[in-house]
Chains A and B, each alone.
Chain A
Amino acid sequence: MTDPIQPPDDDIALMAQVRNGSPDAFRLLVERHQRPLLNFFARMGAFTQAEDLAQETFLRLWNYRNKYKPRAKFTTFLYTLARHAWLDHIRRQNRFRLFAERYREESPSATDGGMQRLHRKLDIHDALERLTPKLRETLVLAVHQGLGYDEIASILRIPVGTVKSRVFNALAFLQEIYNETSR
């Protein structure tokens, strides 16, 4: 017999409650999706900021809760918000990078910190970092988040064929690097 006060398993039903301003339903969604979301940001390269970005995504989810239409899957909406949070993060990083580069150029005692001389063993994580952002986000959504090609196409707003092509290219690129380093 089903407990009548059992929270709904369906994310869409929970989201309907969130739309009505239910913090309890929102808490359930957070608990349900926090790990996959953290993994998404970590695989995208923001390992240390993954938690901040995931929290930011959930806050966006609350603030934009009225924009969610039950027509789409909940994860499509969530990862669209996550991607926007990620892109904003990249923009901030780029601004900081420009500032840091200029600072390094202007500072006579500045060095590269030995980063260029540091040769690390290439593992799968390093290989991921060598992917272009477009290939990487497509691959992360497909492999790590386990989203279908259709759903990824909705999130990235590209045709399904392009999603498949990007996934293939990403995997082919990774395999090539992997084969080179394992020789």
Chain B
Amino acid sequence: MKPPADPLNHPPFAHLCQQLRCLPAPEPSAQFTQNIMSHLASQETVRHSILGQIAKVAAALALLLAVYLIHYPRKEYAVSVDQSPIEILMAAQRTDGAWSAAVDNQPSRYDTGVTALAVLALIHSDSNPLESSGAIAIRSGIWHLLRTQDEQGVFASTVGSVPYNHYLATKAIETAAGLPGADPDWRWAARRAQKHLPPPEHLANLNRHLANPSTFPPRWAMAAGPSAQLALHLLRPGVSPLF
């Protein structure tokens, strides 16, 4: 049977609908609205309380993050601005006792001369260098130089026409050999090396450079790298207490 277009107003159902509509509707209690509003208020209080708790936790986490970022253990560099030039120079020494001409501290052909300059700078930084805090650096530097000396007494890795490497290594060994507490072998190595120093007029120029490091050829000083420049700075008159 197809339902009528408007079953509620279908005449056969009129009496039934009338009866249905006459069913008594329940009355809300006197506190109905008040109950809802109270429930709503407590619900909002709980919500604000939860939001407040979340906000507090978020603030605490932000604070912890800020503290962590402030005290984040940053990468420690070997060279610090608080360090003295001597400490910086010692920190630049490689584990094989040498100082490098390269910025990345890798071996280079200037290393013998740079190591010699660094040893000289450390020697001249203290009145009793082999008893000072730089003693180990000096001894390991000299040990490295001695390893580069060949059987004839020449320090290898001569660069160009001017034997800076040999000259500076000889001066470093020679100076160290004269210190209290020096190894006797150093003197013997110095004597062997002295035989191969350049002619007197050339040697005078080199001595003048060493006595006044600012006269070192800039090209060589630049090529010798930061450790050499720091050593030359320490060897300048007025900087080194022994010059």
Contact = CB atoms under 8 A, between A and B. Distances in A.
Contact of A174 (B16, B28, B33): B16
A91 B180 CA distance: 99
Contacts of B43: 59
Most buried by A among B4, B13, B29, B36: B36
B28 A144 contact: no
Given A59-B43, A171-B10, A178-B16, A30 B36 contact: yes
B40 A62 contact: yes
Nearest to A47: B26
Interface in A77-119: none
Interface in A23-66: 23, 26-27, 30-31, 34-35, 38-39, 42-43, 47, 50-51, 54-55, 58-59, 62
A71 interface: no
Interface residues of B, number: 28
B25 interface: yes
Given A27-B33, A168-B7, A143 B17 contact: yes
Contact of B13 (A35, A50, A171): A171
A31 B36 CA distance: 11
Given A43-B23, A58-B36, A144-B21, A165 B3 contact: yes
B200 interface: no
Interface residues on A, range: 35 or more
A42 B36 CA distance: 19
Contacts of A128: 20
A174 B23 CA distance: 14
Contacts of A50: 26
B67 interface: no
B33 A42 contact: no
Interface of B: 3-8, 10, 12-13, 16-17, 19-21, 23, 25-29, 32-33, 35-37, 39-40, 43
27 contacts: A26-B40, A30-B32, A30-B33, A34-B32, A34-B33, A35-B27, A38-B25, A39-B25, A42-B26, A50-B26, A51-B32, A54-B32, A55-B32, A55-B39, A59-B43, A125-B23, A139-B20, A143-B8, A143-B20, A144-B25, A164-B3, A168-B7, A171-B10, A171-B13, A171-B16, A171-B17, A175-B13
